[in-house]
Amino acid sequence: MENNLSAYWMGFTANRQFKQSPRMFTKSKGMFYYTPENLEVMDSIAGLWCVNAGHCHSKIVSAVQQQVAELDYSPAFQMGHPKAFELANRLTNLLPNSLQHVFYTGSGSESVETALKIALAYHRAKGQGQKTLLIGRERAYHGVNFGGMSVGGMVANRKMFANLLGNVDHLPHTHDISKNAFSRGLPSHGMEKADVLNDLLNLHDPSTVAAVIVEPIAGSAGVLLPPKGYLEKLRAICDQHDILLIFDEVITGFGRLGDSFATNYFGVIPDILTTAKGLTNGTVPMGAVMISDEIYQAFMHGPEHTVELFHGYTFSGHPLACAAALAALDVYEEEKLFQRQDGIYQYWEDAMHSMMNLPFVIDIRNLGLIGAIELEPVAGSPGKRAFQAFLNAYEAGLLIRTTGDTIAFSPPLIIEKQHIDRLVETVSKVLKHLT
Ligand SMILES: Cc1ncc(COP(=O)(O)O)c(C=O)c1O
């Protein structure tokens, strides 16, 4: 029977365009996807920033296979299974000492909702129930649920839904190509954008503010890097006013920058940290929120038979996800994928910036194994030029991801120099033929 493609309403997809000319994958291995016709497509985005150890890694595959035959599901409330505790310990060992507790979720969006709820409940537990304001940032992406969408700052994701959380404000974004175009690594200009937090605190009064949430590097809005000193400044201002700092590390976690997490890379420690994606190498859906001991202890009061936090998901700490995550952490460690020692980061940076003179390129940015090429938009049709580049790259055997008019690269961390060369060659051809 022929499948009716319209039955599946695809998320964040141009459904009508896709269904006229579908792009399907039926197999994957290492750096590559394969179409039903067995055409090879190189993956320059690790699926969606998640398959950090490469596709169908045999260790992760067999860990999930074994787990599903042994313990398929275990209730997430009032019951446990050993791997969930083992994983929590493995995760906290990767993080600064203050982040000692892990709350499991099923995705990045759920991690963000969990973090925001814990922030509000924490202040209330401390008798500061008036601290309810949440501060996000323009052009931020914190997933698609109501809390994350509200603190997020991607206009297209917000304007369709109108009914956002009320008690929210936003910092300005830090992207400024008039001063920082073609920066290698962190941009030099823009640290003062963090001072706007002081202005917002003056406006609202710090005693009403619960938390500030930022992505250390904004990915979905087009790879926006923090100016030098910016994250440190946010941390200092939050400390001064008893405001929680939340880092959304859904894309920066698990080796993307050349360290396990952005908090370690930047040496700036949040009170709450959200992750997902690379946690299981993308194999099984899972997210996690790391929480400071101070926050956790604020809830551990009252009669011992009572629930301390009225929050959780049926699939929190799912056994298959835990098995996948434990195997993924083993692979990351064994293959030293968090900190490659073979000059790959420099090779990547040079390769990215080698494309600066191609047609329509107005900026190139990079850090760790992240890269972005910003294109000049077609007048009156934002996003059109980059979307055409995406379609043409796919035809040429390369999977890229575009957001607005930016092409964002986040390859599996197993990428080798020959793959980088192939990426540059394909992207160069694609851009030269764009109109
Ligand atoms: C920083 C950030 N937060 C949250 C999310 C949402 O994650 P998910 O799609 O797993 O819900 C994403 C997804 O790209 C993200 O980049």
Q: Which CATH architecture has domain 5-52+340-432?
A: Alpha-Beta Complex (3.90)
280-306 pLDDT, tens digit each: 999 999 999 999 999 999 999 999 999
Of 374, 367, 411, the closest CA to residue 41 belongs to: 411
| Closest ligand 1 atom number to CA of residue 140 | 1
Q: Map the chain to HEC letters.
A: CCCCHHHCCCCCCCHHHHHHCCCCCCEEEECEEECCCCCEEEECCHHHHCCCCCECCHHHHHHHHHHHHHCCCCCCCCCCCHHHHHHHHHHHHHCCCCEEEEEEECCHHHHHHHHHHHHHHHHHHCCCCCCCEEEEECCCCCCCCHHHHHHCCCHHHHHCCCCCCCCEEEECCCCCHHHHCCCCCCCCCCHHHHHHHHHHHHHHCHHHEEEEEECCCECCCCCECCCCCHHHHHHHHHHHCCCEEEEECCCCCCCCCCCCCHHHHHCCCCCEEEECHHHHCCCCCCEEEEEEHHHHHHHCCCCCCCCCCCCCCCCCCCHHHHHHHHHHHHHHHHCCCCCCCCCHHHHHHHHHHCCCCCCCEEEEEEECCEEEEEECCECCECCHHHHHHHHHHHHCCEECEEECCEEEECCCCCCCHHHHHHHHHHHHHHHHCCC
Instruction: Give the distance (Å) from ligand 1 centre to CA of residue 252.
Output: 11
More confident site: 159 or 162: 159
What mean pLDDT is reported for the chain?
97
Residue 337 pLDDT > 60, yes or no? yes
pLDDT of residue 2: 67
Asked if residue 215 has its Cβ within 6 Å of ligand 1, the reply is yes
| Substitution site in 213, 224, 249, 251 for ligand 1 pocket (most atoms within 8 Å of beta carbon) | 251
pLDDT of residue 156: 87
50-101 pLDDT, tens digit each: 999 999 999 999 999 999 999 999 999 999 999 999 999 999 999 999 999 9
| Closest ligand 1 atom number to CA of residue 276 | 10
pLDDT of residue 163: 76
Asked if residue 250 has its Cβ within 6 Å of ligand 1, the reply is yes
The answer to whether residues 234 and 174 touch, using CB atoms and an 8 Å cutoff, is no
- Please classify residue 181 by burial: count the beta carbons closer than 10 Å to its beta carbon, then call 0-12 exposed, 13-18 middle and 19+ buried: middle
164-203 pLDDT, tens digit each: 899 999 999 999 999 999 999 999 999 999 999 999 999 9
Asked if residue 401 has its Cβ within 6 Å of ligand 1, the reply is no
Q: Has domain 62-334 been given CATH number 3.40.50.300?
A: no
**Domain spans of the chain?**
5-52+340-432, 62-334
pLDDT of residue 236: 98
| Closest ligand 1 atom number to CA of residue 112 | 4
- Pairing of the two strands 99-105 and 401-403: unpaired
Asked if residue 54 has its Cβ within 6 Å of ligand 1, the reply is no
98-114 pLDDT, tens digit each: 999 999 999 999 999 99
Residue 366 pLDDT > 70, yes or no? yes
Asked if residue 107 has its Cβ within 6 Å of ligand 1, the reply is yes
The answer to whether residues 207 and 167 touch, using CB atoms and an 8 Å cutoff, is no
Residue 362 CA: distances (Å) to CA of 122, 145, 376, 409: 44, 33, 6, 16
Instruction: Give the distance (Å) from ligand 1 centre to CA of residue 302.
Output: 35
Instruction: Give the distance (Å) from ligand 1 centre to CA of residue 108.
Output: 4
Q: Could you tell me the pLDDT band of residue 256, with boundaries at 50, 70 and 90?
A: very high
Atom 3 (ligand 1) nearest CA? 142
pLDDT of residue 1: 55
Instruction: Give the distance (Å) from ligand 1 centre to CA of residue 115.
Output: 13
Counting residues of the chain whose pLDDT is more than 70, the rounded percentage is 100
Rg (CA), the chain: 22
pTM: 0.97
305-327 pLDDT, tens digit each: 999 999 999 999 999 999 999 99
